[in-house]
Chains A and B, each alone.
Chain A
Amino acid sequence: MARIGVFVCWCGENISRTVDVDRVVQEVAKLPGVRCAINYRYMCSDPGQTMIRERIALEKLDGVVVASCSPHMHLRTFRKAAQTAGLNPYMLEIANIREHCSWVHPDRDEATAKAIDLIRLAVAKVKNNHPLEPIKVPVTRRALVVGGGVAGIQAALDIADAGYEVVMVEREPSIGGKMAGLSETFPTLDCSQCILTPRMVDVGQHPRIKLYTYSEVEAVDGFVGNFKITIRQKARYVDVTRCTGCGECSSACPLKKNKSEFDLGMGTRSAIYMPFPQAVPARPVIDKNVCAKLTRNKCGVCAKKCAAGAINYEDEDKLVKEKVGAVVLATGFKLYDIGKKDGKIAGYGEYGYGKYKDVIDSLQFERLVSASGPTNGEIKRPSDGKTPKNVVFISCVGSRDNAKGLPYCSKICCMYTAKHTMLYKHKVHDGQAHVFYMDIRSAGKNYDEFVRRAIEQDGAMYYRGRVSKITEQNGKLIVRGADTLAGVPVTIEADLVVLAAAMRPADGVTELAQKLNVGYDEFGFLLESHPKLRPVETNTAGVYICGAAQAPKDIPESVAQASAAASKVQITLAASKLTRSPEIARINEKTCAACFRCYETCPYHAIEKAEVRTRKGVLVKRTARVNVGLCMGCGTCVSACLSKSADIEGFTEQEIYAMVESLI
Chain B
Amino acid sequence: MNLGYYPGCSLHGSSDDYQQSLKACFDALGVSLKELDDWICCGATAAHTLNRKLSIALPARNLALASQQGCEELVAPCSMCSMQLKKAQKAMAKDAALAEEMGRIVEAQPNDTHVLNLLQAFDRVGLETIKAAVKEPLKDLKVACYYGCLLTRPPEVVGFDDCEQPVSMDKVVEALGATAVAWNYKTECCGAGMTLASEETVLDLSHKILADAAAHGAQCIAVACPMCNVNLDMKQSVIEARYGVKYGMTIYYLCDLVGLALGLTPKTLGINRHFVARKA
Contact = CB atoms under 8 A, between A and B. Distances in A.
Taking the complex as a whole, does A directly touch B, i.e. does some CB pair lie under 8 Å apart?
yes
Interface in A305-359: 348-350, 355
A163 B164 CA distance: 57
B141 interface: no
B40 interface: no
Nearest to B155: A346
Nearest to B156: A403
B162 A471 contact: no
B184 A472 contact: yes
Nearest to B184: A471
Nearest to A355: B165
Interface residues of A, number: 8
A478 B212 CA distance: 13
A472 B184 CA distance: 7
A472 B164 CA distance: 14
Bin the interface of chain B by size.
Answer: under 10
A590 B212 CA distance: 85
A289 interface: no
A350 B153 CA distance: 13
A473 interface: yes
A489 to B, nearest CB: 14
Contacts of A472: 184
Contacts, number: 13
Contact of B162 (A349, A473, A478): A349
B131 to A, nearest CB: 26
A645 to B, nearest CB: 53
A83 B66 CA distance: 82
Interface in B92-144: none
A394 to B, nearest CB: 15
A471 B162 CA distance: 16
Interface string B135-168: 0000000000000000000000000001111000
Interface string A452-487: 000000000000000000011100001000000000
A350 B187 CA distance: 11
B184 A473 contact: yes
Interface in B175-221: 184, 212, 215
B164 A349 contact: yes
A599 B212 CA distance: 68
Contacts of B215: 473
Contacts of B165: 349, 355
A355 B186 CA distance: 15
B184 A349 contact: no
B176 to A, nearest CB: 24
Contacts of A355: 165
Interface in B208-252: 212, 215
A244 B164 CA distance: 51
Interface of A: 348-350, 355, 471-473, 478
13 contacts: A348-B164, A349-B162, A349-B163, A349-B164, A349-B165, A350-B164, A355-B165, A471-B184, A472-B184, A473-B184, A473-B212, A473-B215, A478-B184
